[in-house]
Amino acid sequence: MGVVSQAAAAPRVKELTRPPTSLWADAWRRLLRNKAAVLGLVIIVLILLVAIFADDSVVAVFTGRDPQPLLAPRHFAKQSLENNNAIPYWLTHVFPTLKPVGVEGGYAKINDTYILGADYNGRDLLSRIIYGTRVSIAVAIVGPLVSLVVGVSVGIVAGYAGGRTDNLIMRFVDIMYGFPDLLFIILLMALFRSTTSAAEAGTLRAVLTGVDNAMGGMFFIFVGIGVTAWMSMSRLTRGQILSLKQKEFIEAARAVGARDGRIIWRHIVPNILGPIVVAQTLNIPQYISTEAFLSFIGLGVQRPTPSWGSMIADGASAIRTYPNQAIFPALALAAVMFAFNFLGDGLRDALDPRLKGTD
């Protein structure tokens, strides 16, 4: 028995040894093993590339000319009224009710140059979906950015300072939680949008409206999401810090004379980053759907800038006649929402310290 146990022990020790890895490298490896998460990541990267290269504005910014469509077959606002509601022939196989002109009861104009069809003003659906990624991606970036910067700093201050400061800040957060966010955004839009004509030059309203117009109507969506998105992040951060700051390694850092700033940045933030990243990734679909919802009810981006939400709204009114106009943007929206959810889910598993080292 002794011999046997010795012989088995040596290789086991070897097996358990592996090159040292950081938390992040480890998480990355685990993430790559999760197929759904990888799929999500691939979709997100693709959409990101599509958003960037929808037209050549990357180049055009430097040369100073108007951007030309690059990935998109046409510009999103390019209309060809005589091709209104045109569909490519292949769609008649997908939707049996969509009968081409010439067939009994047929009404759809066939034009194969529109790969997914054209909308009511003869604008290419595919191009509009491609340009529409820009709005969704912008929201997916700005939402987390605001909530990271504002939410995390508020959370850190509250959690680290503790006592009365903590109490004051968190009560403020509680109050903000009671804020009806959607109603707030709608009111914001109603105030700035529908009364633009009354804004006098030089007033704050005129300035904000100008900014909003320059951004194609995305500014107030950002404001709306920004105002409401940081609160849950600040609660999460505070909770994490409260549990961390009692830990021995923080006490040790303090004992050797580290200042607060150093403790926060070198010891606390790296330790709470995992849960924050996971929470953010899982929040992104919510930001995207908020934007889509606002555009759906007509308070989102300004026409003719395409957003998937407004495209679905326009398509919904024609759903029995031209189902393609609602279904394709809806599919695009669904794909991105799934991608972010899968990725967030994978990240949560990958960053869970309890799963560290497991296969």
Partner 1 sequence: MFSRNIVLTVLGLLVAVSLIAAPVSAAPPVKGNNQIDFENLPPKETLFSALFGAGDIPTLDPSLAEDTTSIQMGLELFVGLTRLNEETAEVEPGMATEWKISDDGLVYTFTLRKGIPWVRFDRSTGEVVVVEDEQGNPRYVTAHDFVYGVKRTLDPKTGSNYAYVNWIIKNAQAVNGGSELGDQDPLYGKVDEIGVRAVDDYTIEYTLAQPAAFFPGIASMWINWAQPRWLIEEKGEKWIEAENIQSYGPYALGDWTHDVSATLVANPHWPGTEAVPKPSIKYIHFTMLDESPSFANYEAGLADVSGVPLTEMDRVKADPVLSKELSIAPELCSYYYGFNVTKPPFDDVNVRKAFSWAVNRQAIVENVTKGGQEPARWFSRPGLTAAPDPAKDDFGPPVAGDPAKAKEFLAASKYGSADKLPEITLMVNQVEAHVKIAEAIQQMWQEALGVKVNLVTQEWKVYLDTLDSDPPQVWRLGWCYDYPDADNFARGVFRSDSGNNHTRWKNAKFDQLVDQAAIETDLDKRRALYVEAEKILVEEDAAIIPIYWYTRVQVTKPYVTRTYSIGGHEHYEKWKINK
Binding site for partner 1 (CB under 8 A): 77-79, 81-82, 84-85, 99, 101, 104-108, 120-122, 186, 190, 193-198, 210, 213, 297-299, 302-304, 316-318, 320-322
> What count of Cα atoms within 13 Å lies in the side-chain half-sphere of residue 299?
21
Given the complex with partner 1, which of 99 and 254 has the nearer CB atom? 99
C-alpha 90/C-alpha 94 separation (Å) is 7
Nearest distance from residue 228's CB to partner 1, in Å? 18
Nearest distance from residue 232's CB to partner 1, in Å? 25
CA 347 to chain centre: 15
Which amino acid is it at 156?
I
Nearest distance from residue 173's CB to partner 1, in Å? 27
C-alpha 154/C-alpha 237 separation (Å) is 8
Which amino acid is it at 154?
V
Nearest distance from residue 24's CB to partner 1, in Å? 45
Given the complex with partner 1, which of 106 and 357 has the nearer CB atom? 106
Given the complex with partner 1, which of 122 and 143 has the nearer CB atom? 122
Positive or negative: CA dihedral 42, 44, 48, 51: positive
Query: 């680290």: which residue's tokens?
Result: 160
What separation, in Å, do the N-terminal and C-terminal C-alpha atoms of the chain show? Answer: 31
Structure tokens at 331: 């599919």
- The answer to whether 344 touches 352, Cβ cutoff 8 Å, is no
Given the complex with partner 1, which of 6 and 197 has the nearer CB atom? 197
Determine how many CB atoms are found less than 10 A away from the CB of residue 339.
23
Given the complex with partner 1, which of 108 and 229 has the nearer CB atom? 108
99: closest CA among 326, 258, 290, 320?
Answer: 320
Determine how many CB atoms are found less than 10 A away from the CB of residue 289.
18
Nearest distance from residue 198's CB to partner 1, in Å? 5
Given the complex with partner 1, which of 46 and 297 has the nearer CB atom? 297
C-alpha 293/C-alpha 339 separation (Å) is 19
- For the chain, give the number of residues: 359
Nearest distance from residue 321's CB to partner 1, in Å? 4
DSSP H/E element including 214: helix 204-214
- The answer to whether 301 touches 307, Cβ cutoff 8 Å, is yes
Given the complex with partner 1, which of 269 and 297 has the nearer CB atom? 297
Nearest distance from residue 243's CB to partner 1, in Å? 42
Given the complex with partner 1, which of 153 and 302 has the nearer CB atom? 302
C-alpha 110/C-alpha 199 separation (Å) is 45
Nearest distance from residue 82's CB to partner 1, in Å? 6
Determine how many CB atoms are found less than 10 A away from the CB of residue 174.
11
Given the complex with partner 1, which of 49 and 319 has the nearer CB atom? 319
Nearest distance from residue 331's CB to partner 1, in Å? 20
